[in-house]
Structure 1
Amino acid sequence: MGIGAVLSSIIAIVIALALVLGMAWGVIWLLKKVQDRQLAAGAGGEDAQPIRFLRSMPLGQRERVVLIEARGETMLVGVTAGSITLLARWPGGTPLPAEATLRSL
C-alpha cells in the first residue's frame, strides 16, 4: 500500500468525522430551539419570559448562590446537592441592593 493510499484514507476519515460532528451539532441546535419553543408555548405563549441566569458564586464544592430572573422578578437562591432554597426576592422594576449584585465574581 502506497503513501498516497494511506493519505487519502486519512483525509476521507477526517472529512467523514467532520461531517458527522457537524450534523450532530445541527441536530442538537435544532432540538434546543424546538424545546425552547415548546416550553414557551406551555408557559403562556411566545410572550412568556424564560428564566434567565444572571450570576453564580460557589460557596463550597457542591454549594453555590445563584442570582436568577423569572417573570420579571429577581431571585437569589441557594443551591446544594440536596435542595434549592429561596434566599431573597426583588419584584420587577426594583433595583437590586449593591450587596446583591455579587461583584466579587
Structure 2
Amino acid sequence: MFWYFVKLLVLLPMIGGMAFGALWLWRKYQPGMMQAGQANRAVKVVDAVPLGNYGKLAVVEFQGKTLLLSVTRGRIERIAESDNRGF
C-alpha cells in the first residue's frame, strides 16, 4: 500500500506536467495564432474561424486588400474583398 502512494505522488505531477506541456505547445503552434512571424510577409492571415469539420473562414491581407476566404479541403473561394480593414 505504501508503494501505491509513492507511485501516485510521483506519477500524478508527471502526468499533469505532460498535459500542461501539450496544451502549451498546442496553443503556441496552433495555425492562425502565429502572428509574430508574419510581420514582413506578403500574405498575412488576420483571423481564421473553423466551420464544422473541414471548413474555415479566413480573413487575409494581401497587397493592401483584405480578403474573406472560404477554405475547405479541396477548394479556396473568395467571398468578399475590401481595400481597407473593414468590410
Query: TM-score, length-normalised on structure 1?
Result: 0.46
More helix by share: 1
Q: 1: CA distance between counterparts of 2:6 and 2:78?
A: 57
| Percent sequence identity over aligned pairs | 14
Root-mean-square deviation (Å): 3.2
Unaligned ranges ≥5, structure 1: 1-5, 59-63, 95-105
Query: TM-score, length-normalised on structure 2?
Result: 0.52
CA pair 30-9 structure 1, distance change in 2 beyond 3 A: same
**Matched residue, 1:13:** 7
Offset of residue 50 of structure 1 = 5.1
- Structure 1 residues 24-103: aligned runs within 5 Å: 24-28=18-22, 29=24, 32-33=27-28, 39-44=34-39, 51-58=46-53, 64-71=54-61, 73-77=67-71, 79-80=72-73, 83=74, 85-90=75-80, 91=82, 92-94=85-87
Offset of residue 66 of structure 1 = 2.0
Q: Deviations over 1:32-76 (max 9, x none)?
A: 54x57xx4343117xxx7553323135xxxxx3322233454221
Unaligned ranges ≥5, structure 2: none
State how many pairs are aligned.
Answer: 73
Q: 1: CA distance between counterparts of 2:5 and 2:46?
A: 44
2:49·2:57 contact (CA, 8 Å) conserved in 1?
yes
User: Whose radius of gyration is greater, 1 or 2?
Assistant: 1
